[in-house]
Amino acid sequence: VTFRKGKTPRRPGPKKGSNVEKDPVGVYCRIRPLGTEDQECCVEMISNSTIQLHAPDGLKANRNGEFKEMQYSFKKVFGINTTQMELFEDIGRPLVEDLIHSKNGLLFTYGVTGSGKTYTMTGSPGEGGLLPRSLDLLFNSIGPFQAKRFVFKPDDKNGMEIQSQVDALLERQKRDSQQSVPRTPSSRLKADPEFADMISPEEACKCDNVDDDCCYSVFVSYIEIYNNYIYDLLEDAPFDPIRPKPPQSKLLREDQNHNMYVAGCMEVEVKSTEEAFEVFWKGQKKRRIANTQLNRESSRSHSVFTVKLAQAPLDADGDHILQDKNQVTVSQLCLVDLAGSERTSRTRAEGSRLREAGNINQSLMTLRTCIEVLRENQMYGTNKMVPYRDSKVTHLFKNYFDGEGKVRMIVCVNPKADDYEESSLVMRFAEMAQEVEVARPVDRPICALAAGRRHRNQAFRDELSRRLEERGNSNNAEDPGLLNQLIESLPPIPRCELVDPADDQTLPNLIEVLERRHHIRQMITEQFNQTANMLRSKLQQFDSQIGTRETFIQNQQSKISEKDKVILNQRSEIDRLEKKSKTLEYKIDILQKTTDMYEQDKRSLQLELETREQRLQKELSERRRMEQRMQGMVTDTKLKWEKECERRVNAKQLEMQNKLWVKDEKLKQLKAIVTESNSSCSAERPQRPSRERDRDRNMGQKRSASPSPVTPPVRPTHRRSHSCGGEKWVDHKPSTNLDLDTVMQPILPNAIKVSTPNEKALSKCHKYVLRHQELASDGEIETKLIKGDVFKTRGGGQAVQFTDIETLKQENPTAPRSQSLEDEWRGTESTLKSSVKFTLSVLVLVQCVFCWCCHLPTLPKEPKLVQ
Shortest Cβ 290–ligand ADP spacing (Å): 18
Q: Cα–Cα distance between 300 and 322 in angstroms, integer?
A: 45
* HSE-CB of 53 using CA atoms within 13 angstroms: 27
Is 827 annotated as a binding-site member? no
Shortest Cβ 264–ligand ADP spacing (Å): 28
Contact flags string 117-146 toward Mg ion, x per CB under 5 A? xx----------------------------
Sign of CA dihedral 459, 461, 467, 469: negative
Contact flags string 281-300 toward ligand ADP, x per CB under 6 A? ------------------x-
What contacts 259, CB < 8 A, 6 or more positions away?
7, 8, 9, 10, 11, 158, 399, 403
Is 118 annotated as a binding-site member? yes
Contact partner at residue 114 from Mg ion, ligand ADP, none, CB < 5 to 8 Å by partner kind: ligand ADP
The helix (run of H) or strand (run of E) holding residue 769 is: strand 767-775
Closest by CA to 456, choosing from 553, 311, 323, 314, is 314
What backbone phi and psi angles, to 5 degrees, belong to 219? -125, 135
Report the residue from 9, 12, 92, 111 that binds ligand ADP according to the rule CB under 6 A: 111
Is 116 annotated as a binding-site member? yes
Number of residues that bind ligand ADP (CB under 6 A): 14
Contact 149, 172 (CB under 8 A): yes
Q: Is 508 in the site for ligand ADP (CB under 6 A)?
A: no
Number of residues that bind Mg ion (CB under 5 A): 2
- Sole window of 108-116, 149-157, 193-201, 773-781 interacting with ligand ADP (rule: CB under 6 A): 108-116
Query: What one-character DSSP code corresponds to residue 830?
Result: T
Contact 258, 399 (CB under 8 A): yes
Contact partner at residue 32 from Mg ion, ligand ADP, none, CB < 5 to 8 Å by partner kind: ligand ADP
Q: Is 87 in the site for ligand ADP (CB under 6 A)?
A: no
- Sole window of 5-13, 110-118, 123-131, 134-142 interacting with Mg ion (rule: CB under 5 A): 110-118
Contact flags string 364-403 toward ligand ADP, x per CB under 6 A? ----------------------------------------
What backbone phi and psi angles, to 5 degrees, belong to 74? -135, 175
Q: Which of residues 19-58 bind ligand ADP (CB under 6 A)?
A: 32-33
* HSE-CB of 570 using CA atoms within 13 angstroms: 6
Contact 688, 835 (CB under 8 A): no
What contacts 799, CB < 8 A, 6 or more positions away?
790, 791, 792, 793, 858, 859, 860, 864
Q: Which amino acid is at 298?
A: S
Shortest Cβ 32–ligand ADP spacing (Å): 3
Report the residue from 114, 159, 247, 757 that binds ligand ADP according to the rule CB under 6 A: 114
Q: Is 126 in the site for ligand ADP (CB under 6 A)?
A: no
Q: Is 123 in the site for ligand ADP (CB under 6 A)?
A: no
Report the residue from 8, 102, 118, 327 that binds ligand ADP according to the rule CB under 6 A: 118
Q: Is 412 in the site for ligand ADP (CB under 6 A)?
A: yes
Contact 683, 671 (CB under 8 A): no
Q: Is 116 in the site for ligand ADP (CB under 6 A)?
A: yes
Nearer to ligand ADP, 116 or 159 (CB): 116
The total of other beta-carbon atoms located within 10 Å of residue 140's CB is 16
- Sole window of 111-119, 198-206, 220-228, 284-292 interacting with ligand ADP (rule: CB under 6 A): 111-119
Shortest Cβ 430–Mg ion spacing (Å): 17
Nearer to ligand ADP, 117 or 287 (CB): 117
Q: Which amino acid is at 462?
A: D
Contact partner at residue 115 from ligand ADP, Mg ion, none, CB < 5 to 8 Å by partner kind: ligand ADP
Sign of CA dihedral 822, 828, 834, 837: negative
- Sole window of 112-120, 230-238, 341-349, 398-406 interacting with Mg ion (rule: CB under 5 A): 112-120
With the CA atoms of 646, 652, 658 and 663 taken in that order, what torsion angle do they form, in degrees rounded to the nearest 10? -140
Q: Is 125 in the site for ligand ADP (CB under 6 A)?
A: no
Q: Is 341 in the site for Mg ion (CB under 5 A)?
A: no
Distances (CA, A) of 769 to 629, 753, 762: 33, 10, 11
Q: What share of the chain is helix, strand, coil (3-state, %, to 5)?
A: 50, 15, 35
Q: Is 119 in the site for ligand ADP (CB under 6 A)?
A: yes
Q: Which of residues 625-664 bind ligand ADP (CB under 6 A)?
A: none
Is 115 annotated as a binding-site member? yes
Q: Cα–Cα distance between 842 and 846 in angstroms, integer?
A: 6
> What DSSP string runs through 381-446?
---PPP-GGGSHHHHHTHHHHHSB-EEEEEEEE--BGGGHHHHHHHHHHHHHHTT-EEEPPPPPPP
Shortest Cβ 115–ligand ADP spacing (Å): 4
> Largest alpha-carbon pair distance within the chain?
260
What contacts 342, CB < 8 A, 6 or more positions away?
112, 113, 422
Q: Is 117 in the site for ligand ADP (CB under 6 A)?
A: yes
Nearer to ligand ADP, 34 or 169 (CB): 34
What contacts 696, CB < 8 A, 6 or more positions away?
none
- Sole window of 67-75, 117-125, 359-367, 495-503 interacting with ligand ADP (rule: CB under 6 A): 117-125
Q: Cα–Cα distance between 546 and 72 in angstroms, integer?
A: 63
Dihedral class, residue 489 (left if φ above 0, else alpha if ψ from -120 to 50, else beta): alpha
- Sole window of 107-115, 229-237, 696-704, 715-723 interacting with ligand ADP (rule: CB under 6 A): 107-115
Q: Give the long-range contacts of residues 566-569, CB within 8 A, separation 24 or more.
A: none
Distances (CA, A) of 849 to 388, 677, 705, 775, 865: 131, 50, 17, 13, 13
Report the residue from 56, 340, 415, 441 that binds ligand ADP according to the rule CB under 6 A: 340
Shortest Cβ 83–ligand ADP spacing (Å): 9
Shortest Cβ 301–Mg ion spacing (Å): 9
Nearer to ligand ADP, 340 or 441 (CB): 340
- Sole window of 112-120, 390-398, 668-676, 713-721 interacting with ligand ADP (rule: CB under 6 A): 112-120
Is 111 annotated as a binding-site member? yes
Report the chain's terminal Cα–Cα distance, integer Å: 141
Angle of the 273-293 helix axis to the 130-142 helix axis, nearest 10: 150
Shortest Cβ 126–ligand ADP spacing (Å): 11
Shortest Cβ 120–ligand ADP spacing (Å): 7
Q: Is 113 in the site for ligand ADP (CB under 6 A)?
A: yes
Contact 49, 424 (CB under 8 A): no
Nearer to Mg ion, 118 or 835 (CB): 118
Contact partner at residue 33 from Mg ion, ligand ADP, none, CB < 5 to 8 Å by partner kind: ligand ADP
Shortest Cβ 119–Mg ion spacing (Å): 8
Q: Cα–Cα distance between 146 and 139 in angstroms, integer?
A: 9
The helix (run of H) or strand (run of E) holding residue 471 is: helix 453-489
- Sole window of 113-121, 448-456, 693-701, 802-810 interacting with ligand ADP (rule: CB under 6 A): 113-121
- Sole window of 118-126, 261-269, 603-611, 775-783 interacting with ligand ADP (rule: CB under 6 A): 118-126
Q: Which residue is nearest to ligand ADP (CB)?
A: 116
Nearer to Mg ion, 121 or 849 (CB): 121
- Sole window of 116-124, 358-366, 709-717, 820-828 interacting with ligand ADP (rule: CB under 6 A): 116-124
Would you list which residues are annotated within the binding site? 111-118
**Interacting residues with Mg ion (CB under 5 A):** 117-118
Q: What is the binding site for ligand ADP (CB under 6 A)?
A: 32-33, 111, 113-119, 124, 299, 340, 412
Q: Which residues are annotated as a binding site for ATP?
A: 111-118
